[in-house]
A = this chain, B = another copy of it.
Amino acid sequence: MAQKPSIPKGTRDFSPLEMAKRNYIFDTIKQVYQLYGFQQIETPAMETLGTLMGKYGEEGDKLLFKVLNSGDYLSKVTPEELAERNSLHLAAKLCEKGLRYDLTVPFARYVVMHRDELQLPFKRYQMQPVWRADRPQKGRYREFWQFDGDIVGSDSLLNEVELMQIVDTVFTRFGVRVQIKINNRKILTGIAEVIGAAEKIVDITVAIDKLDKIGLDNVNQELREDGLTDEQIEKLQPIISLEGTNDEKLNTIADVLGSSETGLKGVEETRFILDTLKALGLKNEIQLDLTLARGLNYYTGAIFEVKALDVQIGSITGGGRYDNLTGIFGMPGISGVGISFGVDRIFDVLNALDCYPKDATNGTQLLFINFGEKETAYCLPSVSKAREAGIRTEIFPDSTKMKKQMSYANAKQIPYVALAGENEMAAGKLTLKNMESGEQSLVTIDEIIKTIQG
């Protein structure tokens, strides 16, 4: 019996126009990565649960899609384990594999497994879907794409500089104005050190982040409620009200951090990155923002985030430095720094601003109308000739009504249509119709090729 088909919730089909736009995004980012010497890798959709579990927190473990073992998957499960009905425990018995949750953990696993063949520093990009059993909502999918670039095996801050240049170049090529925000985990650690409240650093950044919304008094009140003493809050005042250029901000922070070696190291790193970028000249603004605290437990140095200026959508790219990515897989001491482009959100931004180039769709350029067997036989060599010249060409396969063929051309937005009837065949030519202007002319296939190639 025929069923009405559907797809799993939170997943999507991509139709030709969407694919063309997505490919434009992927290709643009890819080309910029390549310009900076990054090389592509791919890892399997399925990883062992040993690789995935415990890497994304308790919540993450629950959001992993687990793949049922094939064959008699019940053979390793005792009747007692079944009767227990403990979903989490039983899943570990029923499943050995899960779907990739991000590209970072598989990359760490890759680096460890391929250590002997890798030339460090290793600059890789990777563009693959990831899967999370999150509750689907607007803009949040269960299957979505990440486009990561990382450099592992080098402590140099030039890597941070290059990643910012990559971000700047990518969004400039897209024609999207962005603000790049930068922070440094070491500065945050330093602040916590000097006020003597290391465990409060998350609360502090959360409170400071509300300054614009709730005002200084309320921020201070919130800090008090978070358990900070008046003395600690007093020391934080220059940080909370931090203003001015990046240089001015760094000077203020350095003052506050006075005695913290870690904190001053963070200031120095940030200064180098910002100074170098200033000398090279970015197209987009880069701003020091101490409230930027993404993945705090994960990053150990610079932290980045990118926001679109003309669309309200949250972070569209982010990243930072991590000092021990591969440690979890038994290979300590490899430092890395990376960024991740949020392709689905970038797609939304480019749609909102309608900034796809006209030729991004790679659509058909020339359609031959099908008037019947004889006319088709006459046209086919010209069809081949156009394709040999690199023109994306179709001949309508069925000799249906002219109207249907023309509406096919319109629906596919094909700019040129060629046709041949008695007159054209007698003249050894074709009629070429410009679908935009409506203009028609009797020409040879060579002239058609020349016209379309511009």
Contacts and interface: CB of A to CB of B under 8 A. Distances in A.
A6 B113 contact: yes
A51 to B, nearest CB: 6
Given A35-B387, A280-B380, A392-B34, A41 B65 contact: no
This chain's copy number in the assembly = 2
A41 B13 CA distance: 8
Interface in A41-74: 41-48, 50-51, 62-63, 65-68, 70-74
Contacts of A412: 37, 119
Interface bin, chain A: 35 or more
A411 interface: yes
Given A280-B384, A393-B36, A44 B12 contact: yes
A227 interface: no
Given A16-B124, A113-B6, A113-B13, A397 B154 contact: yes
A119 to B, nearest CB: 4
A20 B370 CA distance: 40
Nearest to A151: B397
A115 to B, nearest CB: 11
A395 interface: yes
A114 interface: yes
A398 interface: yes
A159 B95 CA distance: 44
A95 B68 contact: yes
B41 A16 contact: yes
B50 A3 contact: yes
Interface in A106-141: 109-110, 112-114, 117, 119, 121, 123-124, 129, 131, 133
A416 to B, nearest CB: 13
Given A42-B13, A48-B6, A397-B156, A67 B99 contact: yes
A114 B13 contact: yes
Chain A facing B: main interface SS: mixed
A279 interface: yes
Interface string A353-394: 000000000111001001000001100110010010011111
Interface stretch (A81-89, A183-191, A417-425): A81-89
A274 to B, nearest CB: 14
Interface in A1-51: 2-8, 11-16, 19-20, 23, 34-37, 39-48, 50-51
B65 A67 contact: yes
A405 B94 CA distance: 49
Contacts of A37: 364, 367, 392-394, 412
Nearest to A361: B39
Contacts of A384: 165, 280
A101 to B, nearest CB: 12
A90 interface: yes
A408 interface: yes
Interface stretch (A212-220, A294-302, A322-330): A322-330
Chain B CB within 10 A, most for which of A68, A79, A123: A68
8 contacts: A7-B51, A8-B44, A8-B97, A16-B41, A45-B99, A46-B131, A73-B91, A121-B397
